[in-house]
Chains A and B, each alone.
Chain A
């Protein structure tokens, strides 16, 4: 095994000055990470998706099936020029049996695969051509839409929502965990019992309850996304608090903390300068893992029939994947007689994007864990 470059810095520093330990730690991590093939593959895929997200920001949407994501509010659309070209339609669902509340509304049950027994004759269906770019198979079909546009436009939403949730959750966990672990005693007891309360509620259930109770009263896109992120953050922060506290219990016994205390530093300074920077590494591992699972969880929630977003075809990866599966039985039964096109691309591409993103953050997380834990290095 070769020695890491951190012990002998590549760039010569000025005489009498050592590189900062934080920098050395980062260099060491990067070195061990670069030796892990899977982690590099994961990092490459994540970077690719980031590029897609930047591209999607400038990407005009050609398909009117995606007009929905311009939002129901006048401020929706996020400055997308395509939004001014299309009327703002509200695609909604309603319980079957009652009167449709609007022109673009579909009964809940007709979109719910659990209500339709899958009696599909696949022999009647053929695989159509790959419909990148322009998709004009059957414009009267309410279910067809272009997954490519959705994926490109959805990158910014998916990555943004995931990063926002994980970042806020980790920040709360870092603060509370550092305070609980550093002060100990009653502070620790109170914070950790409070954390236990949140940890013992089943996560998905809590998210669903919050979305159902609070989300139903809000109709704007921005408001819904805030509620959604809040619901996820409430479920996510206790895990970080527990991880950080465990790490802080180790960190606070270190000599440099003692030295800082002996030289008269205040608790706030010790926590911010010494405790938090040295307890962050396990948080990075958990964060990279969680970023991938949030679009999956979102997809699951949409799949259960929760209209998180006020528009049906909202370009978010989990939503796209869920809707493609939800509408599949309806699409297959819509076609009567003759050979029909099996819309495989609608299922494949959003699903593939979700899968690739989640698995690449898993690779990265596993690589980070190996790089940061000296016992697992090889």
Chain B
């Protein structure tokens, strides 16, 4: 099958998946009691949002009265319409990026410094670059560690090296991320607190292990917005370099190292296992035996013949891992207080629910994951001509 026909077919198949995901989120929302849906949008500051209300709150004497505010709000949100009409409106607004504005009820509005009614798509575009930088750094660490280690452990199969590598990767999977992150933070804070570095002297003070941006006492920058968003690209490190602030760029990278180490250590187990297994499979193939037989040095056999051919599977799993990473690291970003989408999402769920933010991001991350799947499939066919698309 030709590449473009395959791509078109996959993109058409994407439509039912996205409609399905949005329907699931709609069902979850619609299962919430109407009162909670109203409160999450309008807050509890005014009179109680119930169909009937004590007449004295309306200044109409005693008894129970029909609550006009309730019905007005109900109509404004479209909750008085039939469910299928609500669903259609929901779908239309979702697919036209009309995701509403961030609400005032959730902690996310605190993160946004009290500024409410910012369009959701814009809020996400502020926080996504930071998560992307973190994901890229983590993926870099994984690549640097997992591929050589996996090859090594396949070559020396069942020897102490192999066992140690597998034990290390298993322990990374089994160690709770929040525990490792908190202990690293605590340990490095205790270690670095002896250094008399402060904001004025240098950027590399110990507080900078924590939080994603320099405190405002360290000065403000004309290219940095009030919510930490930077221009022109939005990526903090890139923008700092663009504006010639190399110390600031280094500072942002230093803040990313500990979280990236935690993430890489946690997810290295899966990658290592894939690299090792695909390497083991390739090592038994005929062309590797031929290469050995004709006298190619063992190191070249491992590096060139086996190593390159085992990369196909690795590329697949790395692509999917990166797609999963873009969804944010709620726990790691919470521990280190990094302003990424993961933190934004956890803040948008509690204590109250920010519907627009959470469902906008569900849609966004679903599209990213599905797109990554397609890209990985195409890349796989490109790397291995034997694979036929279809």
Contacts and interface: CB of A to CB of B under 8 A. Distances in A.
Contacts of A202: 324, 327, 362, 365-366, 369
A55 B210 CA distance: 42
Interface stretch (A24-32, A60-68, A254-262, A358-366): A358-366
Given A202-B327, A304-B331, A355 B358 contact: no
B174 A292 contact: yes
A310 to B, nearest CB: 15
B182 A328 contact: yes
A120 B350 contact: no
Contact of B369 (A114, A122, A200): A200
Interface in B350-390: 350-351, 353, 358, 361-362, 365-366, 369-370, 373
B35 to A, nearest CB: 10
Contacts of B61: none
Nearest to A214: B31
B190 A122 contact: yes
Interface in B154-192: 158, 163, 166, 170-171, 173-179, 182-183, 185-186, 189-190
B306 interface: no
Interface stretch (B14-22, B47-55, B68-76, B234-242): B14-22
Interface string A291-312: 0110010011001111000000
Of B177, B269, B281, B331, the most chain A CB neighbours within 10 A belong to: B331
Contacts of A300: 176-178, 330-331
A212 interface: yes
Interface residues of B, number: 61
Contacts of B24: 197-198, 201
Given A318-B176, A362-B170, A200 B366 contact: yes
Interface string A197-222: 11011101110111011101100000
A200 B362 CA distance: 10
A85 B162 CA distance: 54
Contact of A378 (B20, B21, B158, B171): B158
Contact of A304 (B29, B281, B334, B351): B334
Given A208-B346, A212-B353, A328-B186, A355 B174 contact: yes
A217 B33 contact: yes
Of A200, A292, A300, A351, the most chain B CB neighbours within 10 A belong to: A200
A174 to B, nearest CB: 22
B198 interface: no
Query: Which range contains the number of A residues in contact with the other chain?
Result: 35 or more
A194 B23 CA distance: 12
A164 interface: no
A108 B349 CA distance: 14
Contacts of A318: 176
A65 B84 CA distance: 49
A217 B25 CA distance: 17
A197 B185 contact: no
B98 interface: no
22 contacts: A113-B334, A114-B334, A117-B207, A118-B185, A119-B189, A122-B190, A193-B16, A197-B16, A200-B17, A201-B365, A206-B362, A208-B330, A208-B346, A208-B349, A210-B28, A299-B176, A304-B330, A347-B179, A354-B179, A355-B176, A357-B174, A362-B269
Interface of A: 38, 95, 108, 113-114, 117-122, 193-194, 196-198, 200-202, 204-206, 208-210, 212-214, 216-217, 292-293, 296, 299-300, 303-306, 318, 321-322, 325, 328, 347, 351, 354-359, 362-363, 366, 375-376, 378
Given A193-B17, A197-B21, A200-B370, 17 more contacts: A114-B335, A117-B207, A197-B24, A200-B373, A212-B349, A213-B353, A217-B32, A296-B176, A299-B176, A299-B178, A300-B177, A300-B331, A322-B176, A325-B179, A358-B175, A359-B174, A362-B173
